[in-house]
Structure 1
Amino acid sequence: MTTVVIDYGAGNLRSVAKALGTVAAESRAGEVIVSDDPTVIRRANRIVLPGVGAFADCKKGLESRPGVIDALAQSVLEAGRPFLGICVGMQLMATEGVEYGTHPGLDWIKGKVVKLTPDDPGLKIPQMGWNDLKLRSAHPVFAGLESGDHGYFVHSYHFITDRPEDVLAAVDYGGEITAVIGRDNLIGVQFHPEKSQKVGLKLLANFLAWKP
């Protein structure tokens, strides 16, 4: 089995690949490679899209890699391979993002990425640090996890889905904030599993074992 971490210049690329490599070795879940080769992406058994920075910059980064977006669509949407988006990689699954203007996303899960506006003016933007996950689903990627487990967040924008059922977990940050989205073979996490210690590694291991 091969898990491909998409290389498009994302800042957390290597740390995500290292965390995945650790859990893959422990569970004998095959190899983890970093690539922007469309052929490699189409052949991969699982795909991970990391992301750090602004929505528009990350989308441009994807578009700058010839054939990558088409290969992602073929592998994920047509072939149904398991997909994990992390932080901005998760946000790119949206219909559009409004950071520094309105920009189209991949439109895989209907919704919009908008600026955080906590009800409590004392809460800082970006949200930076640990927050308690509130799980809404018995999704396989949550196996061995429970509400109250912590994820590590760094973000100023958040995903508002068109369909409430696409939100699999949330956190409270001056109001409810989407933490995990998903449908079919797609999963996306706003927090950083590669920085979330045991909870993050468990989620990554569950993703590698997931058979949607």
Structure 2
Amino acid sequence: MELADMRREYTRGGLRRDNLQTNPVDQFNLWLSQAVDAKLTDPTAMTVATVDEHGQPFQRIVLLKNVEEDGFVFYTNLGSRKAQHIEHNQRVSLHFPWHPLERQVHITGVAEKLTAKENMRYFTSRPKDSQIAAIASRQSRRISARGVLEATFLELKKKFAQGDIPVPSFWGGFRIRPTSIEFWQGGENRLHDRFLYSREGNEWIIDRLAP
């Protein structure tokens, strides 16, 4: 298999300025709803890129849990590697790869922690096993074997068999306030369509970018 020879044409149609919403969050919600309607696998899955204190970038897949006018929300263990990076550098990049629709969305922004009230509202809405897993797993820490994690999970499941599970202090969410949002639509002959929304004050400026 020659990787250099692997290619295909993007033929699902282009993207024109007249098709765009004035607000990029509205445009994102439109594309997200189309990805859901197309029954894509994990349409809310996004790459979250952070940078550590040495300037080393890291990426991982996280599920988007809310879209608001002022940002994109996800939740994590606040002791995780990504959370530690954000503590050092709040600038974050998000990427949504909707390959079957020949679309990508790239977001740059600044992360801020959610309030305790916001964390509690979402945590209590999760399935109970997911709540327990959030407590059992000290994300990104080294463990000797999977059995240790499973034993902790079962122990906590027994402990919380009755009653509510408290929101752990080391768990919470981040809101990524966007500074730029780029929409990419594949085009024939590699003439892709790219539109970049950049925030200037309270306004969004739209530029077409060369592919």
Identify the TM-score tier after normalising by the shorter chain. Answer: under 0.3
Normalised by the length of structure 1, the TM-score is 0.23
Higher relative contact order, chain-length normalized (CA < 8 Å, sep 6+): 2
- Richer in strand (by share): 2
Larger Rg: 2
Normalised by the length of structure 2, the TM-score is 0.23
